[in-house]
Chains A and B, each alone.
Chain A
Amino acid sequence: MDLHKLSLNQQLNGLKEGDFTSTELTSHYLDRISKLDKELNSFITVTEDQALLQAEAADKRYKEKSNLALDGLPIAHKDIFCTKGVLTTCGSKMLSNFEAPYSSTVYEKLDNEGMVMLGKTNMDEFAMGSSNETSYFGPVKNPWDTEYVPGGSSGGSASCVSAELAPVATATDTGGSIRQPASLCGLTGIKPTYGRVSRYGMIAFASSLDQGGVVARSAEDAALILEAMSGHDSKDSTSLKLDKPDLTKGLDDSIKGMKIGLPKEFFAQEMPAYIEKSIEEAIEVYKSLGAEVVEVSLSNINLSLPIYYIIAPAECSANLSRYDGVRYGYRCENPKDIEDLYMRTREEGFGKEVKRRILIGTYALSAGYYDAYYLKAQKCRQLVANDFSEAFKSVDVILSPTTPGTSFKSGEKTDDPIEMYLQDIFTIPANLAGLPGLSVPCGEYEGLPLGMQLVGNSLEEAKLLQFAHSYQSNTDWHKKMPNI
């Protein structure tokens, strides 16, 4: 049986019914990883022994009828989530020898539901990148065509789920790092409201924007896992004081009479004809399901990219100051004094893009520039958030493309940082406003998938997933998988 073709709910039912065991399911995925991942490089660490032990424990619970909610389901974790006793690198040389002394809340929550960790997925270094080419552990390939990038920074998570080396994976999103790779790999990826998922033990990049989420093969799968990851955590001071939402109950509810907003500023931009066509077709599907489509205005949305490239580097320069070669991580050889230790450790331990962003952030926060850059950006960020609040007075969700195109070839954008940054032009605004956003596959061009993005009002993940699920119940784009 092709166990990897089953949805998460089908796998869960199979486990409950005793059609197969978690050990069989887990071994099936481990086999696929060992066969197929050499080329894709989507995993940094495969935790085979631990996975089989977890699977065995799940099987025992099934036998004793004491099984947990997601017992025995395999999952891959982005290597940004700390996992106790397991290498946790964040895709960096700086943490290439770091075994986390504790686990992230996300890992704990899923572990507590019985999920089996297959391994830790590759990613852009410290989640900075849109092509998964900045990883110290080598680039990740897109399973749809290995000459192409999987997107980033959660490129390993997207690549391995798309190649069905794992049924689902955790991911994180600071400016599009879940939704952009989901779009480029033909997956469903959701970033929830800021504060919905705990950031405890999730290695920080830009703390006011970072948020954990999922890449999956359908909205139904994503809902199941995101629900289990969510909920208040006293270990994260920005965690929302709310119980975990019910994300699966309303999936099949009709979207009839609900309103979709199309931001005219996005659609005024020139975009490739194939994107326009796919988006128009998706809109037609929604109309046929009874949704109303109206134009909305997000008049400050064009400020999003510069706002992001001030705030994210500023916060990253502060967050990454902890990597000093003293307490953990990489240290340069033979430092001649403490200053030399800091300067060379950071020169050698960080890759090019990370250093670039630290320098930009240091500049933006330095004396004399703080007001002009960081403060100004935080004010403009409020303008963007206000635009969304205004728009959500009249619509339920906002629809746009996820990315400005399908995937691009490895190496194509590495020499031009700004060209790479433009990958996130549609996804960044949701992070600035702290809103939930998801990407679902809605088309294909020259054999490569592309996605549409839905952004919802604060805390309305359930509605977003309902919209995504109703689309997926009437289309087949999400069922297409690469031939590998």
Chain B
Amino acid sequence: MALSDQELKEIAYLARINVNEESLTSLKKELEDILGLFEELNEADTSQISAMSHPLDLSQPTRKDEVTEENLREELLKNAPSVKSGLFLVPKVIDGDN
């Protein structure tokens, strides 16, 4: 299972993880080795099998739409790296002339 540099960079971008050029080669080798493991699965006949969703085959439970928790806004903001006026602060997201 061979990965190209370009493919690896695309995956890293999808995962939003910066990968520096020096580590590309070793990382690629590690990932290729792991992907190589997966080929064993091709031999398994799964034509009559449906994919497992829960080991005990439960259906998704629902509950009434009721308020169960108080507002934890202040508590939660305490862990934020940067906050302004009760909002999470990040670098400018929308580009514009001004």
Tell me the A residues contacting B by CB distance below 8 Å: 97-99, 101-102, 193-195, 208, 234, 237-238, 240-241, 300, 302-303, 305-307, 309-310, 317, 321, 324-331, 335-344, 346-347, 350, 355-356, 358-360, 362-363, 366, 373, 375-383, 385, 417-418, 433-435, 458
For chain A, what secondary structure do more than half of its interface residues adopt (helix, strand, loop), or is it mixed? helix
**A382 and B35 contact, Cβ closer than 8 Å, known pairs A237-B61, A300-B44, A362-B14:** no
B18 lies within 8 A of A382 (CB): no
- What are the residues of chain B within 8 A of A240 when measuring CB–CB? 56, 58
Q: With the chains together, A417 CA to B32 CA distance in Å?
A: 11
B44 lies within 8 A of A417 (CB): no
- What are the residues of chain B within 8 A of A234 when measuring CB–CB? 61, 63
Shortest CB–CB separation between residue A431 and chain B, in angstroms? Answer: 9
Q: With the chains together, A331 CA to B18 CA distance in Å?
A: 14
Name the contact of B52 in the complex, choosing from A300, A329, A336, A381 (C-beta under 8 A). A381
- What are the residues of chain B within 8 A of A343 when measuring CB–CB? 13, 16-18
Name the contact of A376 in the complex, choosing from B33, B46, B56 (C-beta under 8 A). B46
- What are the residues of chain A within 8 A of B8 when measuring CB–CB? 359
B93 lies within 8 A of A342 (CB): no
Shortest CB–CB separation between residue A190 and chain B, in angstroms? Answer: 17
Name the contact of B79 in the complex, choosing from A329, A344, A355 (C-beta under 8 A). A329
A347 lies within 8 A of B17 (CB): yes
B18 lies within 8 A of A346 (CB): yes
Q: With the chains together, A345 CA to B80 CA distance in Å?
A: 14
A234, closest chain B residue (CB): B63
Shortest CB–CB separation between residue A113 and chain B, in angstroms? Answer: 23
A317 lies within 8 A of B55 (CB): no
- What are the residues of chain B within 8 A of A99 when measuring CB–CB? 78-79
B52 lies within 8 A of A326 (CB): no
B80 lies within 8 A of A303 (CB): no
B32-56 contact mask (Cβ, 8 Å, vs A): 1 or 0 = 0111011111101010011111111
- What are the residues of chain B within 8 A of A358 when measuring CB–CB? 15, 17
**A98 and B79 contact, Cβ closer than 8 Å, known pairs A303-B44, A376-B46:** yes
Task: Say if the beta carbon of B96 comes within 8 Å of chain A.
Answer: no
B47, closest chain A residue (CB): A379
Residues of B in contact (CB 8 Å), total 50
A360 lies within 8 A of B31 (CB): yes
List 3 tightest A-B contacts by C-beta distance, closest first: A434-B55, A378-B51, A331-B81
**A383 and B90 contact, Cβ closer than 8 Å, known pairs A331-B82, A363-B35:** no
Q: With the chains together, A344 CA to B16 CA distance in Å?
A: 8
Taking CB atoms and an 8 Å cut-off, the chain B residues in 61-98 that contact chain A are 61, 63, 72, 75-76, 78-82, 88, 90-93
- What are the residues of chain B within 8 A of A193 when measuring CB–CB? 55-56
B79 lies within 8 A of A101 (CB): yes
Q: What are 12 contact pairs spanning A and B, CB under 8 A?
A: A99-B78, A238-B58, A240-B58, A303-B41, A324-B16, A326-B88, A329-B79, A363-B31, A379-B50, A379-B52, A381-B51, A417-B30
Task: Say if the beta carbon of B27 comes within 8 Å of chain A.
Answer: yes
B20, B31, B63, B79: which has the most chain A beta carbons within 10 Å?
B79
Shortest CB–CB separation between residue A420 and chain B, in angstroms? Answer: 11
B79 lies within 8 A of A328 (CB): yes
Shortest CB–CB separation between residue A355 and chain B, in angstroms? Answer: 6
B91 lies within 8 A of A341 (CB): yes
B11 lies within 8 A of A359 (CB): yes
- What are the residues of chain A within 8 A of B51 when measuring CB–CB? 375, 378-379, 381-382
A378, closest chain B residue (CB): B51
Q: With the chains together, A20 CA to B17 CA distance in Å?
A: 53
Task: Say if the beta carbon of B6 comes within 8 Å of chain A.
Answer: no
B17 lies within 8 A of A309 (CB): no
A337 lies within 8 A of B91 (CB): yes
